[in-house]
Chain A
Amino acid sequence: MTHPFQSLFLNSTRRNLLLGMGFSLLLTACSSGSSADQKLTLTGSSTVAPLIGEIAKRYEAENPGIRIDVQTGGSSRGLADASQGLADIGMISRGLKAEEEGEFQGFVIAKDGIGLIVHGDNPVQAISDQQVVDIYKGEVDAWQAVGGNNAPITVVNKAEGRSTLELFLKYFELENSEVQADVVIGDNQQGIKTVAGNPNALGYVSIGAAEYDIAQGSPIKLLPVDKIAATTETVQDGSFPLSRPLTLVVTEPPMGLTQDFINFAQSEQVHDIVRAQNFVPVSSSLAQTQSEATAN
């Protein structure tokens, strides 16, 4: 057992240490009350959050004294938090549905388009939606069945939880459990590298990332979907079917800081950030009509 005095002494220093820790915590806690900075809170889609986070950082740098907190948790939470007033702006990775138009106002800040990619040497120029479904279900497993070489198809699918996977499955009306994948990949870069290294692979990635890598000399090519070429232009004008708008939503007509930030997020000043996150920028004049067009 410890010597009483020794232990008593040590106990008191230990107590002081704890007290000091608690006290300093209290001090930091109190000091925050004095900051009268303007603050904007956004919550919602985990696809949009990293993009808005970067836009917010630039906005903060250009407007000292303003803080923009970006939270995540999914599109439905974005709508719920904006509706309850917990967030100033909600973020959703889709357009507003018709029944939501009454309560919310949407502002498209960027678009996300997904293109099918094959190796540059693959002679196939186009495959129909039904052929894509058959290939991903494993019912067609050779390129000659869709007009290509006499070779098996290496089906490249996205890992669970990716937003591109969701959009892909939704468009082709597939369940992930039905997909017979040969390779499961994580990010766009991994998908591009997989297809670039395998002449018989079929995959799908964000169009922005694919175009960038094609420009860098990567031996891949984008296939049209439903006869529409997969380019940032067709994504931008809304004609490319496999795309979705990334939308900011508010419940009341935006004013002051909220309006200023939405304008900033739609402006050309952030197009480089949008591209860096592999999304397609939309011009602000287009954004309003896009929001209406995708309302159905």
Chain B
Amino acid sequence: MQTPSSKPGLDWAAIAIWTIATLITATFCCILLDILWHGLGQLSWEFLTTAPANAGRDGGINSILVSTGLILLVCLSVSIPLGVGTAIFLAEFARGNPQFSRWVRRSLDILAGVPSIVFGLFGYAFFVQRLGLGFSILSGGLTLACMVLPILIRAAEEGFRAVPDGYRLGAASLGLSRWGTLQQVLLPSAMPGLVVGLVLGIGRAMAETAALIFTSGYVDRMPGSVWDSGRSLSIHIFDLSMNVPGGEQQAYGSALVLILLLIVINSFASWVAQRYQLGL
């Protein structure tokens, strides 16, 4: 690799950076290829639409998919309004009180770094026991919402901060109300930030095992409502690979489904955001 440069030693820096980037990409590709290689044979319409049998060794993952979807739905329907609301407050309304918003931001940053098992134990103590929600999709979704909120808020806030002040001044000079400014100007402009937060949040929620094993639980029956216990895909993969002899193949299949789901959700989120931003 020859990079034209005037300073000696810069080539080495370039090589180092290229090597690091290649290594990271290669690691990711290795994992992906391994899962594709082992999981592709498992993947079929039947796998997605039948119930797990024989402790997950046979059958499919239909109930697991439904549980995962419901947990995510509970998580997002709580965390999106709360998260976007807090981000708007921090970026737009708390400017007169920097002391308070600094405090909020610091606690959010600490929360974002808390290990997920701590959230799991909190959810177990608070939602499962104190609020009496039991082992349920509701408990799991709410626990995940607590976990995802800091990420969502910080990314969304950055989105709002990235909107140039000229937009706000322009809106004000045109006589738009604060609500109108928010709805017509700020939200669409801050959309990329919101989507980044959402994608990161969904990623963390879907990959979560530790926080869910104590809250939404292990039951692999098709859930009848959000009050039922339901096993998420991540827990299913964990259980198949760690506790069920002969479950490896199904674990690979489930892992592949999880990765495909993440890719689909992420591209859908960016597609929606793009349309929203363009006002289509």
Contact = CB atoms under 8 A, between A and B. Distances in A.
Contacts of A189: 245-246
Given A186-B248, A206-B245, A28 B77 contact: no
B214 interface: yes
Given A21-B73, A277-B55, A4 B245 contact: no
Contacts of B207: none
A211 B73 CA distance: 47
B225 A31 contact: yes
Interface in B200-218: 213-214, 217-218
Given A7-B279, A161-B242, A209-B245, A49 B184 contact: no
Contacts of A35: 224
Interface stretch (B34-42, B95-103, B226-234): B226-234
A128 B227 CA distance: 54
Nearest to A22: B77
A194 to B, nearest CB: 14
Interface string A62-89: 0000010111110000000000001000
B245 A32 contact: no
B245 A188 contact: yes
A70 B275 CA distance: 44
Which bracket fits the contact residues of A?
35 or more
Interface residues of B, number: 38
B135 interface: yes
Contacts, number: 95
B226 A28 contact: yes
Given A54-B54, A186-B241, A187-B247, A69 B217 contact: yes
B56 interface: yes
B218 A70 contact: yes
Nearest to B56: A50
Contacts of A241: none
Interface of A: 1-4, 6-7, 10-11, 21-22, 25, 28-29, 31-33, 35, 41, 46-47, 49-51, 53-54, 67, 69-73, 86, 161-163, 186-189, 206, 209, 276-278
Interface of B: 54-56, 73-74, 77, 128-129, 134-135, 138, 183-185, 188, 213-214, 217-221, 224-229, 239, 241-248, 279
Given A25-B73, A69-B217, A187-B246, 9 more contacts: A28-B225, A31-B225, A32-B228, A35-B224, A54-B54, A54-B55, A67-B221, A186-B248, A189-B246
